[in-house]
Structure 1
Amino acid sequence: MPGLQEHYTTLFFMFLLLFLATILGNLLILLLAVLWGHYRTISIAGCFLQMYFIISFATVEIFLVAAMAYDRYVAVVKPLHYNTIISTRVCLRMMSTIWALGFLLPVVPGILAISMPYSTSNYVLHCFCDYPTAMSLPCADVTAQVNFALLIAMVVDWGPFIFVLFTYCRIIIAVMKMKSNESCKKAFYMCSSLIVLVVLYYVSSAVVYIGLRVDSISPIGRIFIGGLNYFLTPLTLCGTES
């Protein structure tokens, strides 16, 4: 970044310490609260609060992937107009819209879910409270609530996914029209990491939510499947960026 060339070493060590502190803090929480068997219970309110933030951040991530695809599309298809189309104002509008949608869309399904009657003792057969797990706990028929939430999830998941596919089809067509082999390689290199990330992200998400709906899967299997999407995608992103 302009004006920060002389401070690269200082910034590197500062962010490295923050990153290591974050990793260490999460490992300590995992070791003390999970692996040693502490805090095996959670209140209903706490379960739904956890569910809300998991859904919110997942929704934000889905829309961010679509925004990244649009950024690649403008950079490849309309490179001369990139600074005009992807301006600071446009970026701020996209980010604010994405975060607003991420925190507003789960509100109605969450309210419908928490309004159901629950018994005082329930087992959460998962490593965290997500929507399918929480909706298996009420002492009433939850068909209407589940179908409504599924409709919203389908729109949120498949809408950006179809947009991403359309965007990359346009990118591939534009790249194939390039006369310079160097330009083609540069364009494909810029987009290849995000393509791999998008494919594995949606595939792992589908495996998670399809697998958790199979009643014959053991609790250990549910924990493994539930962690698949939350470890595979960051690992893939790290590998593709390197």
Structure 2
Amino acid sequence: METKVTTIYDYKSIDIPKPLIELQLPDLSAFIEDQCQKLAERHSKLELPEGQKHVLTDEMVQAEDLPGITTVEEYKDAMRREIPFTIRSQQSHMIVSDFLVPQLVQRSTFEINDEEATRESKHRLNIFEEKAKEQGLSLEAYGQKEFGVPTMDEGEVRQYVLYLGRTSFLFRVLAQEYLRQRGVTLDVVSYAEYVKSIAETTGMEEDNVREVLPIHIYMDEVPTVSMLDEMASWVYSQITFDE
């Protein structure tokens, strides 16, 4: 039996906790000054005495060749405008991955092939273990670092990674059906069109696109990415900053 979703819960009916979407905009002054200092250090050819800071000039800003930005004040204003958008974007993706996807999977119904789901979960754990080894860390230490929970022991890390793997697998199944119900067909024809579109957008050769994104990855990942983007856009529109 192949795992399939039988009922897809409407993710827009899931209440997002207010602390996640009602944010306090931090004081940007120190951050902006720090960015200006780093830019000045990159462009300055002067060797200053220890403790003395480089000063950002209009000429340094112009050397960055930023559209419509030619002065230090314009550079600072641009950061003041863009930082809130960046914060909202990062927060919306965090909410989707850490809160909305698990909730959606939990509230939807599936016919699950346990062998298939277990295999996917173990695959996620194997990848996690390899990353821990690459960093010279134990599974426990790597898990504590990745999840930000210093009290997790190895067993808890394993169980959580297996849970993430199972959730990710079920969401992938759900996303494929979600697109199908909306009339989106993923097949050889749509793959060829997708490859052509990516090639035109990036300037890559179509054969190179196929190497980077073979058809089996396309069939698995495009529905997932598409639905994640849709959910993130919905969450993004709800995030506000307290005055």
Q: TM above 0.5, one fold?
A: no
Structure exhibiting the larger radius of gyration computed from Cα positions:
2
Greater fraction of residues in strand: 2
TM-score of the aligned structures, taking structure 2 as reference length: 0.24
Greater fraction of residues in helix: 1
TM-score of the aligned structures, taking structure 1 as reference length: 0.24
- Which structure has more relative contact order (CA 8 Å, sep 6+)? It is 2
